[in-house]
């Protein structure tokens, strides 16, 4: 026997049920769109927070670099002042001392890319030097100039490296003791 189905519901109710089903589908799609928008908004907010943190870190690094530069400027000013004082003293005496000769020799042998942080010249002409060097080639050139008899005019008998390190910024910090002849 074949099944016979009889639908006793009026056609208006069937049409209403079809409309409800469409409405629920549209409503589900709307909720999905809202959830996607909430996810994208939270993702954008998280990225903004991360960028703010990165910007803050970069600003702190910049402030440290500016502070270091200003510290080096004051050191450079002090060195220039000491150099000028030595020149004035030498003019009064009319004779160049061994200290002055060693200072001039070190100044001549130092490449432009080497930033001298401090230099101490003893009475006997022995030198203690601290410097910043930005690249290893300049560091090598500086040490070679100091140790080469051709360059140091046979005024330096020994160069010893007390300390050599490389910071996170890639700058070499070197401390040397230079013994005069």
| Averages of pLDDT over each 10 residues, the chain, 181 residues | 77 88 94 97 96 95 92 86 84 70 87 88 86 89 87 86 90 90 79
Is residue 146 situated within a structural domain?
A: yes
Token representation of residue 138: 């300049």
Tell me the CATH number at 103.
3.30.1360.100
- Quick one: pLDDT at residue 21? 92
- Quick one: pLDDT at residue 96? 61
Closest CA to 105 of 89, 85, 90, 119: 119
- Quick one: pLDDT at residue 85? 87
Domain span including residue 43: 11-95
- Quick one: pLDDT at residue 1? 60
Closest CA to 134 of 72, 57, 55, 67: 72
Instruction: Please provide the size of the chain in residues.
Output: 181
Q: How far is CA 33 from the centre of its chain?
A: 44
| Domain's final residue, options 66, 95, 124 | 95
Residues 141 and 64 in one domain: no
Residues 100 and 84 in one domain: no
- Quick one: pLDDT at residue 8? 78
Is residue 2 situated within a structural domain?
A: no
Residues 153 and 121 in one domain: yes
| Domain's final residue, options 50, 72, 95 | 95
Closest CA to 142 of 120, 159, 118: 159
Instruction: Give the position of tokens 């060693």.
Output: 102
What phi, psi does 2 have (nearest 5°)? Answer: -95, 145
| Domain's final residue, options 72, 95, 118 | 95
Token representation of residue 49: 């927070």
- Quick one: pLDDT at residue 105? 87
- Quick one: pLDDT at residue 7? 75
Separation between Cα atoms, residue 97 and residue 167, nearest integer Å = 36
């Amino acid at each position: 026997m074949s099944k016979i189905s009889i639908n006793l519901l009026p056609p208006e109710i069937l049409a209403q049920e079809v409309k409800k089903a469409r409405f629920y589908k549209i409503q589900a799609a709307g909720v999905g769109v809202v959830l996607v928008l909430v996810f994208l908004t939270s993702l954008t907010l998280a990225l903004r927070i991360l960028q703010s943190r990165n910007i803050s870190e970069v600003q702190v690094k910049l402030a440290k670099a500016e502070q270091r530069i200003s510290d080096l400027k004051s050191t450079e000013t002090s060195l220039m002042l000491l150099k000028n004082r030595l020149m004035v003293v030498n003019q009064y005496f009319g004779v160049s001392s061994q200290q002055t000769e060693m200072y001039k020799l070190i100044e001549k042998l130092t490449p432009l890319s080497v930033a001298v942080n401090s230099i101490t010249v003893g009475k006997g002409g022995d030198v203690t030097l601290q410097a910043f060097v930005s690249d290893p080639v300049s560091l090598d050139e500086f040490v070679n100039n100091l140790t080469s008899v051709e360059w140091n005019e046979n005024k330096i008998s020994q160069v010893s490296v007390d300390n050599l390190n490389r910071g996170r910024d890639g700058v070499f910090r070197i401390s040397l003791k230079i013994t005069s002849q």
